[in-house]
Amino acid sequence: MIEKRKICPKCNSQMFQRFNSTMWYCPTCENSKKFIKVDELHTSKKTGAKKGLKSKKTKFNFYSTTAWKNCSHYILTYYADNEGNVQCSTSSKWMKVTDKNCHCGHYIKTRDMSKTNYAVAFEFTNLAPQSYQENIFRSGNQLVMREWLIKQHGLKAIEELELKQHNICKLDTIVLLYWAKFYEKQLDILLKKRGIKDHWKSK
């Protein structure tokens, strides 16, 4: 049996509640098909947005994370001299690590078409200093970077990296926090070892 209980606050039609249920139904507003909770019924768009009932999903941006910032700062500092000058791995161009045209590039990209390679996104052997032109306009100049990385780490390390890229990895909050703290600590150790200041903080 369907019992009449309420009047719809939006269209003034009669609302119905299923027997032994907390779900309310407005035939006029919901096209005689959909049941929704009474607390969420006819909530205004503004109120809904404030309460989080309707929220737009924001696209994940790997390069805006603290984990990536700390990682890239460590990589660039590692390969730079004490004055903060570093050479592009694929073009040999000299740059200041704090220059906007100085990037930390990936040999195996974090995203390849629809595929993600997050398993190697923070791997030391997958990263090298690059100029903006090489990293962006030449898509990282992958073959040249591979040869450069082999000279730095050896062929075996790069082959292991290329196998590891196929592992499934989700960059959730816990993983990103781990890498953020890991590279923050590594950078601190490197700076103390060389007796220099953080180039980005002293800029």
Question: Per residue in 38-51, pLDDT tens?
Answer: 444 344 444 444 44
Q: Looking at the structure, do residues 12 and 73 belong to the same domain, yes or no?
A: no
Q: Looking at the structure, do residues 102 and 172 belong to the same domain, yes or no?
A: yes
According to DSSP, the residues that pair with 94 across neighbouring strands are: 87
Residue pair 117/123 in contact (Cβ under 8 Å)? The answer is no
H/E segment holding residue 39: none
Please check whether residue 54 lies inside any domain of the structure. Answer: no
Please check whether residue 160 lies inside any domain of the structure. Answer: yes
Mean pLDDT of 173-182: 96
Q: Looking at the structure, do residues 120 and 165 belong to the same domain, yes or no?
A: yes
Write out the residue range of the structural domain in which residue 27 sits.
3-43
Q: What's the token pair of residue 168?
A: 């499934």
Pairing outcome for strands 85-87 and 36-37: unpaired
For 93-137, write each residue's pLDDT tens digit: 999 999 999 999 999 999 887 789 999 999 999 999 999 999 999
Q: Looking at the structure, do residues 156 and 105 belong to the same domain, yes or no?
A: yes
Pairing outcome for strands 94-96 and 115-116: unpaired
What confidence score (pLDDT) does residue 24 get? 63
- Tally of domains in the chain: 2
Mean pLDDT of 165-176: 92
Residue pair 117/109 in contact (Cβ under 8 Å)? The answer is yes
Q: Looking at the structure, do residues 24 and 83 belong to the same domain, yes or no?
A: no
Q: Looking at the structure, do residues 23 and 123 belong to the same domain, yes or no?
A: no
According to DSSP, the residues that pair with 3 across neighbouring strands are: 17
According to DSSP, the residues that pair with 96 across neighbouring strands are: 85
Indicate whether 36 pLDDT > 60: no
Measured CA to CA, the distance from residue 101 to residue 45 in angstroms comes to: 43
Query: Can you give the C-alpha Rg of the chain in angstroms?
Result: 27
What confidence score (pLDDT) does residue 15 get? 66
For 138-153, write each residue's pLDDT tens digit: 999 999 999 999 999 9
Average pLDDT for the chain: 82
Measured CA to CA, the distance from residue 70 to residue 72 in angstroms comes to: 6
Name the amino acid, one letter, at 185.
Answer: K
Q: What's the token pair of residue 127?
A: 């990263």
Q: Looking at the structure, do residues 175 and 145 belong to the same domain, yes or no?
A: yes
Q: Looking at the structure, do residues 101 and 150 belong to the same domain, yes or no?
A: yes
Please check whether residue 48 lies inside any domain of the structure. Answer: no
Q: Looking at the structure, do residues 23 and 95 belong to the same domain, yes or no?
A: no
Longest dimension (CA), the chain: 81
What confidence score (pLDDT) does residue 111 get? 87
For 41-82, write each residue's pLDDT tens digit: 344 444 444 444 444 556 789 999 999 999 999 999 999 999
Residues 184-192: contacts with CB under 8 Å, at least 24 apart: 184/70, 186/74, 187/70, 187/73, 187/74, 187/77, 190/74, 190/77, 190/78, 191/77
Please check whether residue 159 lies inside any domain of the structure. Answer: yes
Please check whether residue 16 lies inside any domain of the structure. Answer: yes
Q: Looking at the structure, do residues 93 and 167 belong to the same domain, yes or no?
A: yes
The whole model's pTM is what?
A: 0.71
Please check whether residue 49 lies inside any domain of the structure. Answer: no
What confidence score (pLDDT) does residue 99 get? 96
Q: Looking at the structure, do residues 96 and 8 belong to the same domain, yes or no?
A: no
Q: Looking at the structure, do residues 34 and 130 belong to the same domain, yes or no?
A: no
Q: What percent of the chain has pLDDT over 90?
A: 65
Measured CA to CA, the distance from residue 140 to residue 108 in angstroms comes to: 9
Please check whether residue 202 lies inside any domain of the structure. Answer: no
